[in-house]
Structure 1
Amino acid sequence: MKIIVPMAGIGSRLRPHTLTIPKPLTVIAGKPIVQRLVEDISSVVDQKIEEIAFIIGPAAKGFPSDTSDKLIKIAEKLGAKGSVYVQEEALGTAHAIFCAKESLSGPCVVAFADTLFKADFKLDANADGAIWVKQVDDPSAFGVVKLKDGYITDFVEKPKDFVSDLAIIGIYYFKDGEKVREEIQHLIDNDLRENGEYQLTNVLESLKQQGAKFIPGKVNAWMDCGKKDPTVDTNKQVLGFEAAVGNNLVASNVVLNNSEIIQPCFIGENVVFNDSKIGPYVSIGANSVVHNSTIKNSLIQTNVEISNATLDNAMIGNHAKYNAKYTSVSIGDYTELT
């Protein structure tokens, strides 16, 4: 089994936090978003992952030179080969996948790296394909699928009238990666675009018309990492999931000087708290120091200094310094607000 992860977008909605790192490498509860994504996929497919292929953007669009190394290490942690491809120009979802055509073979999962999920189903690898879906209250904002006898019959993009409440979350399984590659090649060779781009939905429709049967993979939770507030909320949900299975995410060498941690929290190595109350639902990265502060429901990265703060729904980048009265803040790496 292979996992293909298109992640070439610049993550503009999550700025300033994506000015120095790609959005999928933003750390949530101690792990990058993309690492949590491939780990969750691995548990659902219940098969050995042979290769994880990542499609990133060019350095000119803000992808640091060490991005490939970080992604390959994530693949290796799952015992898989890591491959990295570059999408030089944003030409649609199908085009992004095609950038990894050398890896697009055999059974594979395609997962767009701006979302996380939790599911208790196991993938039927004998199916022609599967599409991860989540029941939503307002399907008009999403692409949805229609079902009949357990199989997907239609893909409908942002329906104005109700046709289904099963939204596509951006994760797909294909039994035959070569066939997907051939279909995308057909789109490109014949310049078959929608709104100027080569779209995966056209590939899905073509495969369905040729007789492929797609099944839904229904997820219990679908977590967005697109903007600051949803990302902080995703951190909260992930901490809740970790606590529910008994995982303690507080490093053993955390220093508590007249301070309290209210679980669930992630606290990295060598963090020092002085006269502070932390939690619930707080992530703080390694080598950070917090003085005289109360922090809850916040996502804070590494090497941060926080003083005299009352934070709630805050997101603070790496190497930042914060000593101010604001509560719901969003400041990026190497920022000082004092």
Structure 2
Amino acid sequence: MKIIVPMAGRGSRLRPHTLTVPKPLIPIAGKPIVQRLVEDISHVLDENIEEIAFVIAEDFGLETEENLKQIAQSLGAKGTIYYQDKPLGTGHAIMCAQDSLSGPCVIAYADTLFRADFTLDKEADSVIWVKQVKNPEAYGVVSLNEQNDIVGLVEKPKDFVSDLAVIGIYYFKDGAVLKNELQAVLDAKLMHGGEYQINDGIKQMQAKGYTFKPGKIDEWMDCGNKNVTVETNGRMLQFLHKEGEHMVSTSAKLENASVIPPCFIGDDAVIKDSTIGPNVSVGKGSVVENSTICESLIQNFSTITNAQLKNAMIGNYAKFDGNFTAISIGDYSELV
């Protein structure tokens, strides 16, 4: 089994945090978004992952590439890097990794996390993972026939089609079939808004009789902007806490500190004269002193003092001192 992860987008809605770190590498509950994504996919598939192919922008840098390869290696998989030089849509991004599109594979966009407990129908030619939503008009949705086959894909329907939204994770029994159909889309220059879309390749597969089934997930969490990323961090902490995961590093130093779970506290973090939690992540090497923090995400090697924070997201190597209550500051920023 292979996993293809298109992730070349700039993450502009999450700036300034994505100015120095690609959005998929921002930590949620102590792990990069993309790492949590591929680990959860691996758990659902319950089989060996042979390769994880990451489609990135070339200017993400060598450090990012090495981090991604290490994520793949942690799952016993080969990590492969491909580049998307122009933002030409999902279909184009997938085809940038065409050399890895063969055999069973999962394609997953690296801006979403999920929780699921279902058995993948590996007899189907493809599975599209969906989530029941209250406002389907805001999403791309699928339509089903009486056999529970996906027979239609509609983007932001004005009239009700279904309430099953596509979350951006797909299984293909043979990635080569999708590759051939997407190549036909590119050759025909079939574009929407200047972009090539995966849906056009899927529709061509359906027209040739390939079977698509829905895989319904329980939770779908977004990381599109600061507010929803902080919310997703809290929800993930809650899931991990219920599952019994220990999230306070043994090397963290707690001095006159109260930690209200669920919280993640990274290696060598220092919490002094402070109350942390619930729903707070504090990255490795960060220092929190004389502060009360809840429902917030603090990354690595930052210093927070004299703060009362809620719904805050603070980047790496930042320094903050004050009484601001809803903030979003990026890497190497200072408020003192």
Q: Tell me how far apart the structure 2 counterparts of residues 260 and 324 of structure 1 sit (CA, whole Å).
A: 20
Pick from 109, 122, 127: which aligns with 1:125?
Answer: 122
Partner of 1:68: 65
Give, in angstroms, the shift of residue 66 of structure 1. Answer: 1.3
- Does residue 291 (structure 1) correspond to residue 285 (structure 2)? The answer is no
Secondary structure of 2:206 counterpart: helix
Partner of 1:139: 136
Give, in angstroms, the shift of residue 288 of structure 1. Answer: 1.2
Pick from 288, 300, 316: which aligns with 1:302?
Answer: 300
Q: Deviations over 1:272-302 (max 9, x none)?
A: 1221000011000111111110000100001
Partner of 2:84: 87
Give, in angstroms, the shift of residue 253 of structure 1. Answer: 2.2
Q: Tell me how far apart the structure 2 counterparts of residues 249 and 131 of structure 1 sit (CA, whole Å).
A: 32
Q: Deviations over 1:15-68 (max 9, x none)?
A: 000000110000111100000000011111111100000000121xxx233111
Cα contact 1:267–1:286 (8 A) shared by 2: yes
Q: Tell me how far apart the structure 1 counterparts of residues 265 and 81 of structure 2 sit (CA, whole Å).
A: 31
Q: Tell me how far apart the structure 1 counterparts of residues 316 and 77 of structure 2 sit (CA, whole Å).
A: 29
Give, in angstroms, the shift of residue 115 of structure 1. Answer: 0.2
Secondary structure of 2:62 counterpart: coil
CA RMSD in angstroms comes to 0.8
TM-score (norm: length of structure 1):
0.98
Task: Among all aligned residue pairs of Structure 1 and Structure 2, give the percentage whose two residues are the same amino acid.
Answer: 59
Partner of 1:39: 39
Partner of 1:258: 256
How many correspondences in the alignment? 335
Partner of 2:28: 28
Q: How does 1:271-290 map to 2 (within 5 A)?
A: 271-290=269-288
Pick from 313, 317, 324: which aligns with 2:322?
Answer: 324
Secondary structure of 1:283 counterpart: strand
Cα contact 1:127–1:214 (8 A) shared by 2: yes
Runs ≥4 residues deviating over 4 A? none
Q: Tell me how far apart the structure 2 counterparts of residues 173 and 94 of structure 1 sit (CA, whole Å).
A: 15
Partner of 2:98: 101
TM-score (norm: length of structure 2):
0.98
Partner of 1:163: 161
Amino acid aligned to 1:36? R
Segments of structure 2 that go 5 or more residues without pairing to the other structure are none
Q: Deviations over 1:75-134 (max 9, x none)?
A: 000000000000001111000000001000001000010000000002121210000100
Amino acid aligned to 2:93? A
Cα contact 1:20–1:64 (8 A) shared by 2: no
Amino acid aligned to 1:92? G
Segments of structure 1 that go 5 or more residues without pairing to the other structure are none
Q: Tell me how far apart the structure 1 counterparts of residues 249 and 63 of structure 2 sit (CA, whole Å).
A: 26
Partner of 1:208: 206
Cα contact 1:136–1:165 (8 A) shared by 2: yes
Q: Tell me how far apart the structure 1 counterparts of residues 266 and 314 of structure 2 sit (CA, whole Å).
A: 15
Q: Tell me how far apart the structure 1 counterparts of residues 173 and 193 of structure 2 sit (CA, whole Å).
A: 28
Secondary structure of 1:238 counterpart: helix
Give, in angstroms, the shift of residue 196 of structure 1. Answer: 1.5
Give, in angstroms, the shift of residue 210 of structure 1. Answer: 0.5
Q: Deviations over 1:131-154 (max 9, x none)?
A: 010000000110000112211111
Secondary structure of 2:70 counterpart: helix
Secondary structure of 1:69 counterpart: helix
Q: Tell me how far apart the structure 2 counterparts of residues 88 and 253 of structure 1 sit (CA, whole Å).
A: 41
Q: Deviations over 1:222-262 (max 9, x none)?
A: 00000000000000011011011101100112222211111
Give, in angstroms, the shift of residue 213 of structure 1. Answer: 0.8
Q: Tell me how far apart the structure 2 counterparts of residues 64 and 23 of structure 1 sit (CA, whole Å).
A: 14
Secondary structure of 2:281 counterpart: strand
- Does residue 178 (structure 1) correspond to residue 176 (structure 2)? The answer is yes
Q: Tell me how far apart the structure 1 counterparts of residues 144 and 277 of structure 2 sit (CA, whole Å).
A: 42
Amino acid aligned to 2:317? H
Secondary structure of 1:127 counterpart: coil
Cα contact 1:299–1:315 (8 A) shared by 2: yes
Q: Deviations over 1:163-213 (max 9, x none)?
A: 100000000011111111111111111212122211111011110110011
Q: Tell me how far apart the structure 2 counterparts of residues 153 and 315 of structure 1 sit (CA, whole Å).
A: 41
Pick from 188, 207, 223: which aligns with 1:225?
Answer: 223
